[in-house]
A and B are shown apart, each in its own frame.
Chain A
Amino acid sequence: MKRLSFTGGVYPVKRKELVKHKEIEELPVPKKVVIPLNQHIGAPCDPKVEVNDQVKIGQVVGDTDKFVSSPVHASISGKVISIKDMPHPVLGKCLAIIIEGDGKSEWVEKKPLKDWTAESPNVLRNRIREAGIVGLGGAAFPTHVKLSPPKDKPIDTVILNGAECEPYLTCDYRIMLEDTGSVITGLKIIMKILGARHAYIGIEDDKIDAIRKVKGMIDDGNIKVIALKAKYPQGAEKQLIKTILNREVPSLGLPFDVGVLVQNVGTSASITRAIMDGEPLISRVITVTGKGVTKPKNLRVRIGTLFSDVISFCGGLTREPGKIIMGGPMMGLAQFTTNIPVIKGTSGIIVFERDEVEILKETPCIKCGKCVDVCPMRLLPSVLGTLSANGRFKEAENYGVLDCIECGCCSFVCPAKRHLIQYIKLAKAEITAMKKAAS
């Protein structure tokens, strides 16, 4: 059978073998956590506690009335020692609630909904909001918002994203193997909320055991597991929908425009915890890996745990680190310090040793067109890069720069080592700013 795929894409070396076979370990409860009030796409939360307040695990410490937002919870029990701007892995800095643990691990009262099938979609959706669930694949978009599509855009199909196409990362793989039941239950909850008939779980075919395990545990004929060709960026939402359903999300549109909702497998498992156990999102699974980490691990980590604590639990750094990345090597963000907390969108911490990191010198574009061939959005990255570098943002917009998903394939293959994604991000930011100024 012809394997469905998408156009473009690249085959980076996966390096997943560093941690692939390691079971998820629980990181011991840290002595201190830093809970940023903005860990998602949308409005930041307002603090709901004050300095010196005692808090319990699962207690809401930040929330807002804005719809596109998501509350944050205390991930350990203890005392709020400070509320101030702290370094943040995505935003640079952000107001955060700092909690010092009391070692008691006291929970707030949990309200599980064991018989969720009897509940209405609204009740379930509210529970998901209250639990602070956001997309755990990296983008951290509030899940309850995704689960509220416009009335005229009904969702017929749900796709669970287990592609995990980023090299190095294995947290989704481990979740699919070790927490299979929660992944599938979460999917059923999503289907119920949306009234969706069909569902697919897409997994790259370099994870055969995960495909088998998930397939074996599905007891619903409407849910199918799809083995995907292992090609980056197979897990990009639009490419995933195209591959599985052959539907193309329109330019600048969203999956609901083609009747689809995509959720990450880890998010699905967290939905199950939130509904069945009444536990808000106070922890997540991350992959700590790279040559620069002494003992790479897959870990369940409390939100707010500092990178430095996570790395020391993994045996510390091997030697002088060159780069520390939050997320995968293709789309992750390089960090300047380890004094930053694990947030909801942290899928991994990758440490490169100093000699693994090259400071690349850009040379002029030789117009080889390799970036054009690999662009999964079928754009002209070299042209976008040149236009942006010359400040011609309006033209870059006409060439579709806003369609770019920043997957990094173009920079990855560029023989001239051009920083194409950097130029493209600049153009997008400038265009967004211009639009804001105009309105």
Chain B
Amino acid sequence: MEKLIVSTSPHIRVEEDVGSIMRDVIFSLLPTTLIGVVIFGLHALYVVLTAVSVAILSEAIIQRLMKREITVRDGSAAITGLLLALNLPPSAPLWMTCIGAGLAIGLGKQVYGGLGYNPFNPALIARVILLVSFPVQMTTWTDPLFIDAKTGATPLGILKEQGIEAASQISLLSLFLGETSGCIGEVSAVALLVGAIYLLIKGHITWHIPISFIGTAGIFTLILWLFGITANPLFHILSGGLILGAFFMATDMVTSPITKKGKIIFGIGCGILTVIIRLWAGYPEGVSFSILIMNAFTPLIDRWRFTHPTKFGGK
């Protein structure tokens, strides 16, 4: 008889692997990518394609230089590139997109040892670096095609610059459908939710982070709205990158807590920080910063006994 394979149990495994999960995540982002390109035009598509290809290329080059196995086939670099593009303005220059994608992979991921070891969401690291390095390019907005051009400002920008009155002129329906300016992938709540439902059904994300994130932001802004301090909570939920961030960025497996309780705490933290930054900090939008800050707390949350399930037969 030939040699038999001997290994520890279990001897059967699910078919799902890291690559198949990443493929599903890419699928889930296609609706919002498509809407972004339709609404903002071809340049948005060039930004997406540039970010994805530069991300994949950077990963391959860095892994080659570091004499590690090249793992671009797992799709995680493509996702990082795609998420970065979706968080860039539609008019983002391609040279800036290249820098962003390279930084996301290099400084956001590979420098820590690659997939699984990065403490921060790589796409968001790159976005924030671009935001502080190229403030003009990062806040130059394109008006959506097919729709009466308004002001060239994002809804949250309008809220910050022109106040509650001006912001409340924007209809919630147009926010829901995506008829506003903003980053390529953040404008259409409906397209984002289609993708999110797909991920929920596939079991790649759970409700804990998105619901606690959006719920906290909703309740927080509701209270402030009742005091007349800010726009209504639905405006806050539907504008900016909250839905994109809550369902697709905060849920990043590597950088969010592993237990259900931990995820809820993480989401609540993101929600509170987002509202604080939107209202009282220099930037109109705070989703990226809040997720990055909570990423830093993830190891701490994971170590906190309170977040662990009570073991069977334990007290």
A368 to B116, alpha carbons, bound, how many Å?
A: 10
Query: Interface on chain A toward B: helix, strand, loop, or mixed SS?
Result: loop
On chain B, the number of residues with a Cβ less than 8 Å from chain A's Cβ atoms is 41
- Evaluate whether A251 and B20 lie within 8 angstroms (CB atoms) in the complex, with A334-B6, A336-B4 already known: no
Tell me whether B223 is interfacial, beta carbon within 8 Å.
no
| Contact in complex: A372, B7 (CB < 8 Å) | no
A269 to B270, alpha carbons, bound, how many Å?
A: 59
A67 to B117, alpha carbons, bound, how many Å?
A: 51
- Evaluate whether A415 and B18 lie within 8 angstroms (CB atoms) in the complex, with A367-B258, A421-B8 already known: yes
Seed contacts A252-B313, A334-B6, A368-B258; 8 additional CB < 8 Å A-B pairs: A253-B313, A334-B5, A338-B1, A366-B21, A366-B116, A377-B311, A379-B309, A415-B20
Complex interface residues of chain A between 378 and 393 (CB less than 8 A to chain B): 378-380, 382-383
Tell me whether A322 is interfacial, beta carbon within 8 Å.
yes
Tell me whether B310 is interfacial, beta carbon within 8 Å.
yes
| Contact in complex: B309, A378 (CB < 8 Å) | yes
A411 to B16, alpha carbons, bound, how many Å?
A: 12
Query: Interface on chain B toward A: helix, strand, loop, or mixed SS?
Result: loop
- Evaluate whether A332 and B4 lie within 8 angstroms (CB atoms) in the complex, with A248-B312, A378-B309, A382-B258 already known: no
User: Chain B nearest CB: distance from A249 CB in Å?
Assistant: 5
A252 to B313, alpha carbons, bound, how many Å?
A: 8
User: Chain B nearest CB: distance from A332 CB in Å?
Assistant: 6
Tell me whether A438 is interfacial, beta carbon within 8 Å.
no
Taking CB atoms, residues of chain B closer than 8 Å to A414 are 13
Taking CB atoms, residues of chain B closer than 8 Å to A382 are 258
10 A-B contacts, Cβ less than 8 Å apart? A167-B12, A251-B312, A251-B313, A354-B2, A360-B13, A364-B114, A364-B116, A376-B312, A414-B13, A422-B8
User: Looking across the interface, which residue of chain A has its beta carbon closest to that of B12?
Assistant: A329
| Contact in complex: B13, A411 (CB < 8 Å) | yes
User: Chain A nearest CB: distance from B44 CB in Å?
Assistant: 29
Complex interface residues of chain A between 337 and 386 (CB less than 8 A to chain B): 337-338, 350, 352, 354, 357-360, 363-370, 372, 376-380, 382-383
Taking CB atoms, residues of chain B closer than 8 Å to A379 are 309, 311
Tell me whether B308 is interfacial, beta carbon within 8 Å.
yes
Tell me whether A42 is interfacial, beta carbon within 8 Å.
no
Q: Which of B16, B116, B254, B311 contacts A400 (CB 8 A)?
A: B311
Tell me whether B115 is interfacial, beta carbon within 8 Å.
yes
- Evaluate whether A378 and B5 lie within 8 angstroms (CB atoms) in the complex, with A12-B12, A369-B258, A421-B10 already known: no
User: Looking across the interface, which residue of chain B has its beta carbon closest to that of A247?
Assistant: B313
Taking CB atoms, residues of chain B closer than 8 Å to A248 are 312-313
On chain A, the number of residues with a Cβ less than 8 Å from chain B's Cβ atoms is 66
A382 to B258, alpha carbons, bound, how many Å?
A: 9
Tell me whether B259 is interfacial, beta carbon within 8 Å.
yes
Q: Which of B1, B116, B314 contacts A367 (CB 8 A)?
A: B116
| Contact in complex: A400, B4 (CB < 8 Å) | no
- Kindly list the 4 A-B residue pairs having the minimum CB-CB distance in the complex, ordered from nearest: A364-B116, A408-B10, A369-B258, A422-B8
Taking CB atoms, residues of chain A closer than 8 Å to B169 are none
Tell me whether A184 is interfacial, beta carbon within 8 Å.
no
A364 to B6, alpha carbons, bound, how many Å?
A: 22
| Contact in complex: B258, A403 (CB < 8 Å) | no
